[in-house]
Amino acid sequence: MRGVVYYIERDLLRWIRGKVNVVSSLAMPAAWLIFVGLALPIKFTDNYLDFITPGILVMTMLSAGLSGGTLLMFDKILGFLNKFLALPSPREDILFGKILFTSLRGLIQSTIILVIAVLIGATIYSPVQYGFTYLILFLFGMLLSAFSTTLALFLEDHDSYAAVNAMISMPLFFTSSALMPYSVMPSWLRFVASLNPLSFAIDAIRAVNTGALPIQQIVSLVVLCILITGISTQVFRRMTVQI
Amino acid sequence: MNAIETRDLTRYYGTLRAVNRLTLSVDREVFALLGPNGSGKTTTVLMLTTLLRPTEGSATVSGHDIVRDGEKVRRSLSYVPQDMAVDIKLTGRENVLLYARLYGIKNPKDRIDELLAMMQLTDRADDLVKTYSGGMRRRLELAQALVHEPEVLFLDEPTLGLDVAARSTIWEHITALKKGGMTIFVTTHYMDEADRFCDRVGIISKGTLLALDSPQTLKSRLGNDVITARIDGEFKDPDLEGVKLFSFSNNEASFLTEKGREALPHLADAFTKTGVIVRSLALREPTLDDVFLHTVGKVEEPMGFDQTKFRTMLRRRK
């Protein structure tokens, strides 16, 4: 498994040195946090910023996770993948490296968003609560990056990958519990939102913030994570040693 | 035991037969697989480097079976694809370090210094690869490939897109590696390079190996002389005795003959009789290009146009 670390280090260096990328990916969630979190006239709570912050953190992980597939996509297109596959180190290391790096990158971005939230007035929680928040975000990030990496394996070119991403990311966000509590949703949205994996993560973080331990949501995320990573591994094996 | 041994190696893509019963032994030499686009060169390399499973047949690299002992095969070889895949946001040293670690090299620092020096990249080792020329990037790829001292080196179009000086540097390195006892398997389009630097060449077309020998033998088997005629007008093979037409395209006809000097005037006469205007006649020794055209004939571009490859080429032009 040492290979995983080396692959992560490679992607990390490439990411940090592409300065524009690092900043631009933060613009969207930061804008949501400031312009929606602080400005929207909301009646159901008097601290909307505290309500929306978990949603924006999960949104940050969502876009980080969904964009993660491009890494493998470009390694495939540009010939890196073939070079790595011809190495004696375990081939799955390439896949796990991508999934872990994408999740890690999401966590770094989420941290910056969290700092911005606190700076503009969000409540500060205890270290244990933040610990659980990070665990939940990490699980969610793994789930998303395993999914997007699998997608990248299936799709032939970057355009179709970007199109699929654009198609799913906004609907996923709006049909989750990110922006409003279940109590004020129309009933059809309440049903959709309760099945949306984004809501699992958002609800879990909100529960943690109230001092509860959301066992059910965490278990759901772990199960989904294992399932999707398992499928991803199978697809990767089949795609890389073409029979 | 030969470094590379294939037996009836066959690969189908659906119903298309990309490689057809390829049987080949390569050992401690520079071997080039030549063929038109889509002839099965890259498919062969992908199978030998365990990136693609053969449909039928078998092959060994350094004595290890490519299907059963994939990991051992990968341990004894290195593969440099034609895409020039080096990380431009990493330095030269970092690029090599990644491979040294992935191969589990002990004391990677010394080994990397040694390789960078060998590839004349020491001065630029800590610059980002973004600033490297094409030739430097290719040498960096060689440094990556040599990090674990492989027994067999696979190079897919190693000089594609490089200038003349960079090409000859790459070939110098390849020749030096062979002298050190390495087996080098290249695919190339450049016949002159194959002729000058390869010990043996195989010519493959539509997946079938049509010729296999040293460039010298292949050329001498073709005959003594080649006559090339540039003509205007309706071309018709003059059909002279001892003068054999083997290629005609773009108003240029090429003939094989044993006695070129004597054949020249006859050929000119024959053309004039059929009302064809001869622009020029040239007499020369056969080249590997002639061997190639003679063996493969005029081949149409295959239908399956590779979008990815085309894009990569476009990118490179910038």
Q: Decide if B105 is inside a domain.
A: yes
Res B310: pLDDT: 55
pLDDT at B206 over 70: yes
CA dist B256 and B272 (Å) reads: 20
Which pLDDT band, with edges at 50, 70 and 90, does B298 fall under?
Answer: low
Residues B14 and B46 in one domain: yes
B123 membership: H or E segment, kind and range: none
ipTM over 0.85: yes
CATH number, domain containing residue B70? 3.40.50.300
Res B299: pLDDT: 46
Subunit contact B74:A241, Cβ cutoff 8 A: no
Write out pLDDT tens, residues B149-173.
999 999 999 999 899 999 999 999 9
Subunit contact B77:A86, Cβ cutoff 8 A: yes
Which pLDDT band, with edges at 50, 70 and 90, does B273 fall under?
Answer: confident
Q: Decide if B312 is inside a domain.
A: no
Write out pLDDT tens, residues B207-229.
999 999 999 999 999 888 999 99
Subunit contact A85:B98, Cβ cutoff 8 A: no
CA dist B236 and B276 (Å) reads: 9
Subunit contact A157:B51, Cβ cutoff 8 A: no
Residues B249 and B166 in one domain: no
Subunit contact B79:A78, Cβ cutoff 8 A: no
Average pLDDT, chain B: 91
Chain B residue with minimum CA distance to A73:
B308
pLDDT at B37 over 50: yes
Residues B275 and B164 in one domain: no
Chain A and chain B share a number of CB contacts under 8 A equal to: 79
Q: Which residues of B touch A89 (CB under 8 A)?
A: 102-104
Average pLDDT of B43-66?
96
Distance from CA of A7 to the nearest CA of B (A): 8
Is residue A87 within 8 A of residue B74, CB to CB? The reply is: yes
Residues B45 and B192 in one domain: yes
Residues B119 and B240 in one domain: no
Average pLDDT of B299-318?
51
Residues B134 and B186 in one domain: yes
Residues B11 and B160 in one domain: yes
Chain B residues near any Cβ of chain A (below 8 Å): 46, 49-53, 70-72, 74-75, 77-85, 87, 89-90, 94, 98-99, 101-104, 128, 144, 307-308, 311-312
Res A186: pLDDT: 94
Chain B residue with minimum CA distance to A7:
B98
Distance from CA of A100 to the nearest CA of B (A): 17
Inter-axis angle of helices A92-119 and A19-31, nearest 10: 50
Write out pLDDT tens, residues A139-192.
999 999 999 999 998 887 889 898 999 899 999 999 999 999 999 999 999 999
CA dist A93 and A142 (Å) reads: 15
Query: Other CB atoms closer than 10 Å to residue A221's CB: what's the count?
Result: 23
Which residue from B193, B198, B272, B200 is spatially nearest to B231, judged by alpha carbons? Answer: B272
Ramachandran angles phi, psi of B305, nearest 5°: -80, 130
CATH number, domain containing residue B254? 3.30.70.100
pLDDT at B308 over 90: no
Handedness of CA A234, A236, B78, B30 (dihedral sign): positive
Res B300: pLDDT: 46
Which residue from B48, B8, B53 is spatially nearest to B31, judged by alpha carbons? Answer: B48
Residues B191 and B248 in one domain: no
Distance from CA of A23 to the nearest CA of B (A): 17
pLDDT-above-90 percentage for chain B:
76
Residues B123 and B97 in one domain: yes
Distance from CA of A91 to the nearest CA of B (A): 10
Q: What is the pTM of this model?
A: 0.89
A184-198, B104-118, B238-252, range with the lowest pLDDT:
B238-252
CA dist B203 and A145 (Å) reads: 45
Contacts with B, A 142-201, CB within 8 Å: 157
Q: Decide if B265 is inside a domain.
A: yes
Ramachandran angles phi, psi of B280, nearest 5°: -160, 155
Which pLDDT band, with edges at 50, 70 and 90, does A130 fall under?
Answer: very high
Q: Which residues of A touch B128 (CB under 8 A)?
A: 17
**Residue B257: domain span:** 224-285
Which pLDDT band, with edges at 50, 70 and 90, does B301 fall under?
Answer: very low
Which pLDDT band, with edges at 50, 70 and 90, does B307 fall under?
Answer: low
Please give the tally of structural domains in chain B.
Answer: 2
Res B318: pLDDT: 39
Q: Decide if B86 is inside a domain.
A: yes
Three-state DSSP string of A93-139: HHHHHHHHHHHHHHHHHHHHHHHHHHHCCCCCCCHHHHHHHHHHHHH
Residues B231 and B89 in one domain: no
